[in-house]
Chain A
Amino acid sequence: MTVFIMCFILFLVGLYGVLTRRNLIKIVISVTIMEFSVFLFLVLIGYIENGLAPILTEELNNPVFVDPLPQAMVLTAIVIGLATSAMLLAIAIRLYKKYGTFDIRKINNLKG
């Protein structure tokens, strides 16, 4: 149970970072921390104590496997997370070229 709670704490750390940081790159890092906490959670729900890697072989009788489906899900989610991070960083770099700063207090054209 402790690991699940730590996962949730990691999620909240990321959320806190998104809400309070003023630097674009630090916001991107915070989003990534949130992402990884969810990935860890997904892997953990498939874990079984003393479970083996889910590969079917002849000589094992009644093997205990860990659940392979969350692992497949995590791999997919990591690829999607890569796309999101790349997109965020690309926009952050473009913003830096336009404004000359990463400070979100100075990037505020849109209001109201």
Chain B
Amino acid sequence: MSNLVPLFVILPLATAFLIPIFGRFIEGFQKSLLSLVLLFLTILAIHFIVAGIGQPIAYQVGGWSPENGIPIAIYLVLDGLSVLLLLIISLIGFLSTFYSISYIRKFTSQNNFFALLSLMIAGMNGVVLTGDMFNMYVFLEIAVIASYALVAFGIERTELEASFKYQVLGGVASLLILFAIGLLYWKTQTLNMADIANVLKSGNNGLFLVFTQVLLIAGFGLKAAMIPFHAWLPDAHSSAPSPISAMLSGVLIKAVGIYAILRLFFNMFAISYEISMVITVIGTLSMVVGVFLAIGQWDLKRLLAYHSISQMGYVIIGVGMGMLILAEGGDRSIASLAIAGGLFHLVNHAVFKGLLFLNSGAIEYVTGTRNLKMMGGLFKSLPVTSTTALGASLSISGIPPFNGFFSKLVIIVAAIQGEFYLLAVLAIVVSIVTLASFMKFQRYAFFNKSKFTRKIKEVPFPMCFSMVVLVILCLGLSLLIFPGIRDIILTPAVDVLMETTNYSSAIIGM
């Protein structure tokens, strides 16, 4: 079983280099190869989930076995949390690729587009799988450098400007992370995350550790666009081609931002009250400020991008509350509920925000505009797009029976049980403001009087297919609230975060 783990990195990486070589000779090679590879990886991830992962599966790259219990090789570690992220990456990646088959016709150089997308997916899979700090930095750079190029893919004025901004802030974030990795290596003389956890457990180096943790929060917070560090996100996510926006908003900020924060602060460092407080406060700020920044937007994709910040805030407060309860030594069942709510919302956000960006791409594809004031009356001419957009809007604003409702409900229930009453009230208020903002989107885009004189046709089949699959998932993921299904998909991931020391002991003991 463990021999299958490296495929998640190898296959997309190989695809990225095969596409420029063979793509120019064989018609349609790039689209079909990348779609097939991602479909295969989705099935592989589902297979791992259904088979069930008890202990983390560790693959030693190069086959170097540990010496005196000290790991030498770079480890690829597959456990409940990483397999959940891998499933999201492969699934949204597959649907975005399939959608791009039609969408990308308006750009030249399709080979480069698909090669960069493949490279980005390889990088994200690597970040999620790796058990080595420096290796994480390398994969993170692979993912974000590909995304810099993809944001600038339109090479018009706004795209270039957004990409430059994104690159400067992303570069600063990467250097903060590298600096923190250097500091960790200096103190612990190892790069393996499980080993670092082991070494840190024995020694007491308070101030040094706090400095490293602050650097890491700043670095990964910049990558995840939490509120004091959010300046690049609305520009970059709204300027990229729409399938890429779906990947960036739906997957990239989670894989290289949220996932890294979760993995490092739960499984590598011991949870401390102060750091949990910082993370929760940042999450609350993102949730509240993001939605109020979104409400005044008239550019459809900018509006969606600001909502990404706000919805990521929900994920962070769910997980942050869990950290706070664990740090105080409170009731573990409430902590588990809060973390489950956060991870549930993470999965849901990938689906509905991916869908909303694909919808905005479909609207832009047929009408050529992203400005809500210029649209109107699209309901009749775009039946598939408007129905799926309605589903996604209801989902993000938390209307039952869509998935967004249930994950927000779990977070709010956990907040009330854990006596974080302010957070519960804020979460409800933000949800209502989100609803208002998406009613504006629905009304101006689909229901007002039409402002188009020419005839508008529905988008081609591949685009419709991706959107329909995602709207079915929006409904279907509500089933995760039922214990039987939750135990297969969500509970292993929650257990990884709850049993904080299990990760290092399982890998060192191997």
Say whether, besides A41-B182, A80-B138, A99-B157, A91 and B164 are in contact (CB < 8 Å): yes
Contact size class for A? 20 to 34
Complex contact A83–B141 (CB within 8 A):
yes
Point out the residues of chain A lying under 8 angstroms from B172, CB to CB.
15, 18, 31, 34
Q: What number of A-B contacts does a CB cutoff of 8 Å give?
A: 88
Q: Which residues of B contact A31 (CB under 8 A)?
A: 168, 171-172, 175
For residue B220, CB closer than 8 A to chain A, the reply is no
A87 contacts chain B at the CB level, 8 A cutoff: yes
Residues in A with CB closer than 8 Å to B160 are: 91, 94-95, 98
On chain A, the residues within 8 Å of B165 by CB distance are 110
Contact B185 A24 (CB under 8 A): no
Q: Mark B125-145, 1 if CB is under 8 A from A, else 0.
A: 000000000100110010001
The reply to whether the CB of A13 lies closer than 8 angstroms to some CB of chain B is: no
Judged by a CB distance under 8 angstroms, whether B252 is at the interface is no
The B150-171 residues at the A interface (CB cut-off 8 A) are: 152, 155-158, 160-165, 167-168, 171
Q: Which residues of B contact A38 (CB under 8 A)?
A: 175, 178-179, 182
Say how far B436's CB is from chain A's closest CB, in angstroms.
19
Chain B interfacial residues counted at CB < 8 A: 36
Contacts A34-B172, A83-B145, A87-B145 given: A92-B164 contact, CB under 8 Å? Answer: yes
- Contacting residue for B134 out of A18, A24, A45, A76, CB 8 A: A76
When A38-B178, A83-B141, A83-B145 are in contact, do A88 and B167 touch as well, CB less than 8 Å?
yes
- For B158, the chain A residues whose CB sits under 8 A away are 109-110
- Chain A residue contacts of B163, Cβ below 8 A: 91
Q: Please, what's the 1-or-0 string for A19-53, where 1 marks a CB less than 8 Å from any CB in chain B?
A: 00000100100010011001001100100000000
Query: Which of A27, A35, A76, A84 has its CB near the most chain B CB atoms (within 10 A)?
Result: A84
Q: Which residue of B lies closest to A110 (CB)?
A: B235
Q: Which residues of B contact A109 (CB under 8 A)?
A: 157-158, 161
Q: Is A107 an interface residue (CB 8 A)?
A: yes
**Secondary structure call for the A interface:** helix
The answer to whether B157 touches A27, judged by C-beta atoms less than 8 angstroms apart, is no
Is B186 close to A, CB under 8 A?
yes
Kindly supply a per-residue 1/0 record for chain A positions 74-107, scoring 1 wherever the CB is within 8 Å of any chain B CB and 0 otherwise. 0011001001100110011011001100000001
Within the complex, what minimum Cβ distance (angstroms) separates B416 from chain A? Answer: 35
C-alpha gap A40/B178 in the complex (Å)? 12
Q: Are B179 and A84 in contact (CB under 8 A)?
A: no
**Which residues of B sit under 8 angstroms from A112, Cβ to Cβ?**
296-297, 302
B175 touching A35, Cβ below 8 Å = yes
B interface majority secondary structure: helix
Contact with A along B286-326 (1 / 0, CB 8 A): 00000000001100001000000000000000000000000
Most buried by B among A70, A88, A112: A112
Q: Is the CB of A84 within 8 A of B164?
A: no
Q: Which residues of B contact A6 (CB under 8 A)?
A: none
A64 close to chain B: CB less than 8 A: no
**In the complex, which residues of chain B have a beta carbon less than 8 angstroms from the beta carbon of A9?**
none
Which has the most chain B C-beta neighbours within 10 Å: A24, A98, A110, A112? A110
CB nearest neighbor in A for B187: A45
Contact digits for B71-94, partner A, Cβ 8 Å, 1 yes 0 no: 000000000000000000000000
Most B CB contacts (10 A, CB to CB) among A38, A41, A76, A95 go to A38
Select the residue from B145, B161, B297 with max chain A CB neighbours within 10 A. Answer: B161
B149 within 8 A of A: yes
User: Which residues on B sit within 8 Å (CB–CB) of A92?
Assistant: 164
Interfacial chain A residues near B8, Cβ < 8 Å: none
**B145 / chain A contacts, CB cutoff of 8 Å:** 80, 83-84, 87
What does the 1/0 interface line of B174-190 toward A look like (CB < 8 Å)? Answer: 11001100100110000
User: What are the 3 tightest A-B residue pairs by CB atom distance, in nearest-first order?
Assistant: A45-B186, A110-B235, A80-B141
